[in-house]
A and B are shown apart, each in its own frame.
Chain A
Amino acid sequence: MAEYFQPEIETMPRERLRELQLAAMKESMRNAYENVPLYRERFDAAGVSVDDLTSLDDLAKFPFVVKQDMRDAYPFGMFARPMSEVARIHASSGTTGQATVVGHSANDLKNWGDCFARGIAMVGGTKDSVIQVSYGYGLFTGGLGAHAGGEAMGCAVIPTSSGNTKRQVQMMKDCGTDILCCTPSYALLIADTAIEMGYDPATEFKISGGIFGAEPASENMRQEIADKLGLQYCDVYGLSEIMGPGVAMECVERGGLHIAEDQFYCEIIDPETLEVLPDGEWGELVITTLTREACPLVRYRTRDVTRIVSEPCACGRTHRKIDRLRGRTDDMLIIRGVNVFPSQIEQVITTFPEIATQYQIILTNEGPLDKVELRVETVPDFPIDEVRKLEDLKARLAAELKSNLQVNVQIKIVEPKSIERSEGKAKRIIDLRG
């Protein structure tokens, strides 16, 4: 069944892959040390040298870089190549501060295309496919990244970029688009627009695959997109500091996103202690680039929370996977030593149709013990007259949270007016721990 884009790389035995990673890591870190002053200073200050890398685990001895380092280095302080060898420059939006600028060499762009093309193959794409790129083109990496993937595969690429949604639908129908690439929210808008225009894209359009990323999407939303457009949903992970979309992509087995491990080395760390965690444990994703020439990154802290899934995948690819992102480290709570993300609690709540979406978490402490209270409301038509049903709902919700979070949560069902509705971002967490 499975067709791979680069079978020799994607199904490489793990031992060989690890050897290749170590060799590439040494070369990449040498590039960083020799050409970027920041790395030279940091490595020297930490008393580590590239020669200390005798195994992949030795990477843990090296210092991290964070987004702020890239802001401070604006514009070209992190470049390891002269402008004559830089083929393209992308930049992050800078909505939360100084923009970050990332350079790509010609090889970097080729590798990027290869990474993304692997995802095209994951949704059944071949050189015969028509691929519509409805990500924005420009400084944002989505459009040109997907475009490069389509070209690497040899697809017919339709660079619609984002916007003018009715025309998107018309192109999709008339050109027989097989694969759509865009953000999940835009995919849903395209699907709804097609339906409003009188089409049933799931049955009337040729489309069979979609590669969606750059923003979070709930499981319900993914299912809705897949159903409305009638396609296999591929989640794509990437970030402009590292490359762009294609760092990891989701195969048909849907048990996580295969990291392009020949190009990126991923670690999961505890964001508090900064210790490397074993595979399977949730924490902050840290990425070291293995092949990037223009802007190599060593132990870049993404702030994204996930875990590494190392079990063999039925699709035959040997590259390990990252799980669906659980949130950002900034949102993390530490409760009795356990890392808990509000998104986990939200996920459990959404499986209870009796509970309204408003909720609030109150953290207090009784002596050394943290106490967690979750305040929820029932939906308006819940039979509040039946005390047993209310008690039963509390018990089931508490049991479900306990099994998901490994933390005891006291459930308090409250009246609608008890949880403050704010106009902007709702205040979900109230931490009263002294």
Chain B
Amino acid sequence: MVDQLTVFLENRTGHLASLTRAISDSGFNMHALYLADTADFGVARILCDKPAEVKAMLVERGFRAALTAVVAVRLADEPGSLATLLEHCDAKGLNVEYAYCFLGDGDHAIDVLKFDDGAAEETLRAGGFTLVAAEEIYLP
């Protein structure tokens, strides 16, 4: 499992900027950012190098931040690979709450999935998928 940093954000102009500036000013680096938004608040989901430290720093500064366990899967960067993964999840009865993707080094993509089932990672590994370890993402 990978620790994703989740930050609750009020909808205010410039607020996302202040969050990212706070992270960079403290010397941390982000790898991925995915934003879910509603009418009056947003939730920023972030993969970064030192999630626990970043969370502590943000809480200290008055942000509402939490760590969320997500599953990261390495997929070939070619048509159909994500569909295959999701079909497998469906076949195994795994419910995906949300997902986002980013390109890794070389010719693969990394898919981040949030399940409500703690055994999801094991199920995917048994299904032959390549899981990305936390260290691979957190390394600078």
Contact = CB atoms under 8 A, between A and B. Distances in A.
Contacts of A418: 10
A416 B10 contact: no
A225 to B, nearest CB: 34
Contacts of B6: 384-385
A415 B40 contact: no
B10 A390 contact: no
B6, B7, B64, B68, most chain A CB atoms within 10 A: B64
Contacts of A390: 8, 38, 41, 43
A414 B42 CA distance: 11
Contacts of B63: 415-417
Contacts of A391: 38
Given A415-B8, A415-B10, A387 B64 contact: no
B84 to A, nearest CB: 26
A386 interface: yes
A383 interface: yes
B76 interface: no
A415 B68 CA distance: 18
B45 interface: yes
B45 A384 contact: no
Nearest to A410: B40
A380 B10 CA distance: 16
Interface in B6-28: 6-10
Contacts of B97: 386
Given A391-B38, A412-B40, A385 B66 contact: yes
A377 B43 contact: no
Interface string A349-382: 0000000000000000000000000000110110
B12 to A, nearest CB: 9
B62 interface: yes
A415 B38 contact: no
Contacts of B10: 412, 414-415, 418
A382 to B, nearest CB: 8
Contacts of B114: 385
A202 interface: no
A413 interface: yes
Interface string A378-409: 10110111110011000000000000000000
B43 A385 contact: yes
Given A377-B64, A415-B62, A417-B63, A384 B40 contact: no
B9, B10, B62, most chain A CB atoms within 10 A: B10
Given A384-B6, A385-B114, A387-B36, A416 B43 contact: no
B19 to A, nearest CB: 10
A395 to B, nearest CB: 12
Contacts of B64: 377-378, 380, 384, 415-416
Given A415-B8, A417-B62, A385 B45 contact: yes
A341 B77 CA distance: 60
Contacts of B66: 381, 383-385
Nearest to A391: B38
Nearest to B69: A385
Nearest to B9: A415
Contact of B38 (A381, A385, A387, A414): A387
Interface in A257-299: none
A208 B64 CA distance: 46
A413 B62 contact: no
B8 to A, nearest CB: 4
Nearest to A384: B8
Contacts of A384: 6-8, 43, 64, 66
Contacts of A378: 8, 64
A384 B6 CA distance: 7
B67 to A, nearest CB: 9
A390 to B, nearest CB: 7
A383 B45 CA distance: 13
Nearest to A411: B40
Contacts of A413: 8, 40-41
B14 to A, nearest CB: 14
B36, B62, B63, B66, most chain A CB atoms within 10 A: B66
Contacts of B62: 415-417
17 contacts: A378-B8, A380-B59, A381-B66, A383-B66, A383-B68, A384-B66, A385-B66, A385-B68, A385-B114, A390-B8, A390-B38, A412-B41, A413-B41, A415-B8, A415-B64, A417-B61, A418-B10
Given A416-B62, A417-B62, 8 more contacts: A383-B68, A384-B43, A384-B64, A385-B66, A387-B43, A390-B38, A414-B10, A415-B9
